[in-house]
Structure 1
Amino acid sequence: MTGIRSALAALVLAAGATAAGCGLSLEDVPLPSLVDGPTYPLTVEFEDALNLPVDAPVKLDGATVGQVTSVDAGEYVAEVELALSTTVELRDTSRAEIRLTSPMGTAFVQLFPGTSGEVLAAGDTLPTAATGSAPDVTDLLSSLSTVVTGGSFSDISTIITQLNTALTGNAGDVRRLLARLDTAVTDLNADFPRVDRLTAALDQLTTRLAGDLPEVTRSLTDLTDLVTSFDRQRADFVNAMVSLQRFDAVATPITRAVRDDMIAQLRDMEPVLRTLLDGRKDIDGVMRGLIAFAGGSDSAAPGDFANFDLTFLLDPKALGDTGDGR
């Protein structure tokens, strides 16, 4: 046992001396692989892979299935070479993202397998359209700085300043305004069923108008022709209105002048008309007698003619007495 230990110690010293002579360090010692078993290469293109180190793990559903073997600059993209376990089968619809283990942790590649498409073989490439990067602490701090210095907080500060300016010395008016607003909102809430019915009625009306759109269009077209006809006859309408105005200017003074005489004459005619109305039955009898007499005369002189004299006796005094009595 002592001889074996001495041999091992000599071997370690010899390896150390050799390493010291060649200028090697611990950084040159390769790290153990994160994946057991055979692997196959796959290239993934990212728009930015600045914080992704070599030998970073590649994860799928929480398990480490590979590691980053190199990060190179391509044509405006970062070409990341992965060594994936042969047990992992990815399709061309898969996605890859660079994520962090924690807000201040290390970066790794997260795979999201696709469910359709062709299976990726060794040496294939996932383009930038299928890759992305999760926001890191730098992005969070940058966004927070933008919000605090010139974003929503600045707008809120401006709003508060303007509110303070508007409310200074106007507290009473603002209270009354808020009270009225509360009353208006309460009334509107109480009448909400009525507003709902009104909205439903408006919806029915618009639906009906939409259904009657051809008829409405035709009516408007006919109305356009009518308005055009009126426009062509506008000069005649204006002349007619001018003539009517002139007639009114002449007729109004005449009507005012003869108004009293016409009223007096109508009042004088009232007793005569009343007498005729009261004797309507007698007049009807006389007229019937005249009709019967005419019929009898036709029978008495068939084919010939006869002359008759008819005299009416009117007593103006009697008519006057009747009018005065009424």
Structure 2
Amino acid sequence: MTALALLTAGCGTPQLSGIQDLPLPGGADLGDRPYEISAEFADVLSLVPQSAVKVNDVAVGRVTRITLAPGSWSAKVTMRINGDVRLPADAYAHLEQSSLLGEKYVQLAPPPRTPRTPKTPKTPHPPKTPVSAAGPLRPGAVIPLSRTNRNPEVEEVLGALSMLLNGGGINQIRTIATELNKAIGGNEPEVASVLKRLDTLVTSLDSNKTDITAALDGVNRLSVTLAVRKQQVGRVLTGLSPGLKVLEQQRGSLLTMLRALGTLSTVAVDTVNKSKDDTIADLKALAPTLKALADSGKALPDSLQVLLTYPFTDEVLRGIKGDYLNLYLHVAAVSGTTVIPPLIPQEPTGGQSAAQLPLPLPLPHPQAGGN
């Protein structure tokens, strides 16, 4: 055995560290260009190195090393695969058992969205698995813990079956069924109504999940803001304490005021009810006045403008030239009016002053001029 190890080391192959590194007879053909991949398992059970690695139940490789993954409690299984086998980058690794008491092996499979090829009999040439859109599984890749699992052990199945057959599970199921029959018996319509309303509630919650998420995010932001301003909120609450004490002291007065407001509202409602007819009559009487004001249109504001600016309205301002006001009057005497000749003012004599001269007679009224 030592001579064989030295001979293989001298030929350029990896040096054997023990008998466990020797390939088992009848194992998978790795070909000339094998590559290594790894997979993380939560529990490898009794899997050992040199165990088979299969695709569609056809051996395509073997397990070379089982170690503890660094920084975790999961097991890292290193496998060497035939170079002609192409696996998808998102492949799954399952830990399975060849029979009830058979050996453990690793089954590699494409993801569920990729159709699996039908099982084929074991042939010297391993099958080629379809490559998904994620690309091929490259050498050195690691299948994460989320894409690995294992089949239940025989001991686990027998233990569960024992508990079920010994009355544990059956008695519990029977008790549950009996109690459900007692609760639902005679209340089938009510239960159906509750289920329908529950379905409506769940549907409504599902359709409004975006708004619910936004509301929860808003509550989260509010809680964060309150946590940041905890001291300010504490000071505000401390400052509210004296005010609350004053309100507590004046509680009787506040209640009296509220009762008085209630009485006032009752009187006000009664007054409005009693004066309803008079109010309606007054409003109807105002209708013609309001209609006339509405019909006046622009005339009313224009007349108010003239009233407030009399005698210098906007029309008068057009005749003002500089600092003087020019007034143009067209006077026509009524037919039959006697026109008095123009008055020539008398010069004051030596003994008279201008104040002592006789005043001119006023013009007669146009209607009295014909008499």
TM-score range, shorter chain: 0.3 to 0.5
Higher helix share: 1
Under a length normalisation based on structure 1, what TM-score does the superposition of the two structures give? Answer: 0.39
Under a length normalisation based on structure 2, what TM-score does the superposition of the two structures give? Answer: 0.35
